[in-house]
Chains A and B, each alone.
Chain A
Amino acid sequence: MIQKKICMLGATGVGKTSLVRQFVQSVFSEKYHSTIGVKVDKKVVRLEKQEVTMMLWDLQGEDEDFKIKPSFLRGASGYILVVDLTDAKSLDAAKRIQFMIEDEVGQVPFMVLFNKNDLTDQIELDHEWMVEFAGEKVLRSSAKTGENVDEAFLGLAKKMV
């Protein structure tokens, strides 16, 4: 079995922990709990040729007071960058984070999730912005409905092996 370290990155409150919970446990909670530092989860996925153990490092979201610690990124085989569709500022944070992670671990497979797609009446970001950011690696997702959650993680796993 092969193991891979995947980091969940993004601004604070964009839904990183909810996406991990949805992917690992298939549950969603409206309650918001801020992640302190890092929380590690695990999910074993079966790809065509082999099983992959995805070690999901859910990092504390970045904001004005807290910057992501580079040491948590070390050794990551891939990452998922999460943007909040209802918060345009989270896109700027995501861009900054991506620069940092490329500086720290280099070019590794990644996915960009524009999350909270279920909140249709609050969406602030349009499709062009999304394409401009990451091209085809972009998916609209919803941790609440599970939309594109498995697809994102499995897609990243395929890219990594």
Chain B
Amino acid sequence: MKPSPEKTSDEATADVESGTPMLPRDPEHFSNGESSMGELRRLLVGSEQVSDVLPEAVSKSSQKNSQLSEATLPIVEKNIRESVLRNPRILADALFPVIGPAIRKAISAALSSMVQSFNQTLEHSVSPKGLKWRFEAFRTGRSFGEVVMLKTLQYRVEQVFLIHRKTGLLLEHVALDPKDTQDADMVSAMLTAISDFAHDSFKTDEDATLDSFKISGLNVWIEGSPDAILAAAIRGNPPLELRETFSLALEKIQYSFDGEFDSYDGESDTFMAARPVLEECLQFQAAEASEKTGRFSPAHLIIGFLGVLLLALVVYFGWDYWRWSGLLETVRNEPGYTLTDYQRGWVKHRVSGLRDPLAGKSSELLSRNRYDDGDVVFSWREYQDSNPQFVLERARKTLNPPPGVKLVFDKGVLTVEGTASDDWMADAKRFGPVITGINEVVISENGLNDLIARIESRKVLFKCGTTKISGDPALDGVSDDLVLLSEYGPFELEVLGFADRTGTPDVNEAISNKRAEIMGSELRKRLGDKAVLDKIKITEMGSKTTADECRVAFKVIRQKK
């Protein structure tokens, strides 16, 4: 250190008075060779007084202006660089307590962001809203994650440009996504051009700048200072408070780089120091909270209720349509019914048509199709169905045939089979054709005669010399024919036992009687139905004559009515 050549001796004296080390008033005091220099050195370096006042001097200098820090900055930088070159471990150990937590914090923030993003994507991936967003992503060609982000974001500052106001050149640029940085200088220039164009076109104040503009979902907010413009590209709906953030950032930059702005000649590296300030402007706010509160809003509940109601109505009407179609089909196919008209109502349905009195009850048609009685109103008009089943039933009710008479209807012809009184037969012939569907009545005994002849031609064999039935299947035929015969009854059936010629007459007679009894018992057992036995009276007797075979035979005798 040496005295400033510009300083006068008076100024040097003033320094002494203010407490700085005492220096000789007369500069000539140093002109006497080495002894003087040695004295000066002793005063400056060796004196304890210097060490006492140096900290205070440094403190005062820092408060006064930044000259001392500017002067020492290159020395400090150089010393740090040299220290790292010599032994990096010293500085690394010194910085470790700071770097460790900083790295942990950065990693934690990155992980938190990633987990939040993952949760958000997962939550919205399978919900109805998520499906809607997937469709939007497909339609717009964006990734699903990007759509989720855009939909759940209130706002996000994507890029911030620091622009030199005078030239429009880009001073610094920060972006959330590094891919967005490639044409930042072009964007910067065009922003300035647009701002200049607006300024010229609308003749605004000299200092006025374009305030903002919006394109699709992107807002561009612009803040101006005397030397710089800060432009921020914001996705979503930013709050007005964000403007204050930008404004404060720009003020800070304007203040910090005042000198650099004045001397700016296109060299922008100086403004890299403004990056931390710009990065603070890259803010974002998710809108997840508001979405959650809206999830169970009354409107949603009403819409949900209406949706369930609509679904229930659809299901009910679908089911009702299904059973209604079934009912109509049943009525169309049911014998004794003819459908002429129908009307499907919201609550009750109506069916009109014709109904034969002999047909089944209409309530059965309803129950078959899961309707209650009150669900469908029937309106029937009576008619006589020409279906053979109904014609025959109608003939039975009208003619009231006596026992032993069987009615058969086919193609308009009613055939009366069996035996009846002559009066009844005459009435049947007279009144039959009056019945709807019957054109002619035919009296026929052929069927009964054939049946009697068949029964009488049957024989059941026994083992010769015994009273055991040989197992002839003819026995089954006899019992079946007797059931048919009972419909024409009453009759008497004689069971005749026969013996062959090998034995004595007495023995043969006894065997014949026994065989008739056994056969009668067997038939009674088989015709266990009392109604049949009431009409078929079975009598057994042994034949006094012999035959070629060991057997029984049958004879049908008509009984008088």
A interface residues (Cβ-Cβ under 8 A, vs B): 1-5, 37-38, 40-42, 52-53, 55, 57, 69-72, 74-77
Are the CB atoms of B266 and A3 closer together than 8 Å?
yes
- Residue in B170, B193, B200 with the greatest tally of chain A CB atoms within 10 Å: B193
| Further 7 A-B residue pairs, CB within 8 A, beyond A1-B268, A3-B268 | A37-B193, A40-B186, A40-B193, A55-B168, A70-B200, A75-B164, A75-B169
Taking the closest CB of chain A, its distance from the CB of B257, in whole angstroms, is 16
Taking the closest CB of chain B, its distance from the CB of A76, in whole angstroms, is 7
Taking the closest CB of chain A, its distance from the CB of B367, in whole angstroms, is 84
Are the CB atoms of B190 and A40 closer together than 8 Å?
yes
Total CB contacts across the A-B interface at under 8 A: 66
Considering the chains assembled together, what is the distance between the CA atoms of A37 and B190 in angstroms?
11
B93 at the interface (CB under 8 A from A): no
| B269 partner residues in chain A, CB cutoff 8 A | 1
B199 at the interface (CB under 8 A from A): yes
| A72 partner residues in chain B, CB cutoff 8 A | 193, 196-197
The size bracket of the interface on B is 20 to 34
A69 touching B166 in the complex, CB below 8 Å, given contacts A3-B266, A37-B193: no
Considering the chains assembled together, what is the distance between the CA atoms of A9 and B82 in angstroms?
52
| A69 partner residues in chain B, CB cutoff 8 A | 196-197, 200
B70 at the interface (CB under 8 A from A): no
Considering the chains assembled together, what is the distance between the CA atoms of A2 and B170 in angstroms?
11
| A71 partner residues in chain B, CB cutoff 8 A | 196-197, 199-200
10 A-B pairs with least C-beta separation: A75-B167, A71-B196, A75-B166, A40-B189, A2-B266, A3-B266, A3-B169, A69-B200, A38-B193, A5-B167
Taking the closest CB of chain A, its distance from the CB of B190, in whole angstroms, is 5
Ordered by A's residue number, 30 sampled pairs between the chains whose C-beta atoms are within 8 Å are A2-B266, A3-B167, A3-B169, A4-B169, A4-B266, A5-B168, A5-B189, A40-B186, A40-B190, A42-B183, A53-B185, A55-B169, A55-B185, A57-B193, A69-B196, A69-B197, A70-B200, A71-B196, A71-B199, A71-B200, A72-B193, A72-B196, A74-B166, A74-B167, A75-B166, A75-B167, A75-B168, A75-B169, A76-B167, A77-B265
Determine which of A37, A75, A77 lies in contact with B197 in the assembled complex, contact meaning CB atoms within 8 Å.
Answer: A37
**CB closest chain-B residue, reference A75:** B167
Query: Which residues of B from 182 to 233 have beta carbons under 8 Å from A?
Result: 183, 185-186, 189-190, 193, 196-197, 199-200
**CB closest chain-A residue, reference B199:** A71
| B166 partner residues in chain A, CB cutoff 8 A | 74-75
Considering the chains assembled together, what is the distance between the CA atoms of A69 and B196 in angstroms?
9
B267 at the interface (CB under 8 A from A): yes
**CB closest chain-A residue, reference B170:** A3
Taking the closest CB of chain B, its distance from the CB of A64, in whole angstroms, is 19
- Residue in B166, B170, B196 with the greatest tally of chain A CB atoms within 10 Å: B196
Considering the chains assembled together, what is the distance between the CA atoms of A41 and B130 in angstroms?
42
| B197 partner residues in chain A, CB cutoff 8 A | 37-38, 69, 71-72
Taking the closest CB of chain A, its distance from the CB of B195, in whole angstroms, is 9
Are the CB atoms of B170 and A42 closer together than 8 Å?
no
**CB closest chain-A residue, reference B196:** A71
| A1 partner residues in chain B, CB cutoff 8 A | 268-269
Taking the closest CB of chain A, its distance from the CB of B161, in whole angstroms, is 13
| B265 partner residues in chain A, CB cutoff 8 A | 2, 77
**CB closest chain-A residue, reference B197:** A37
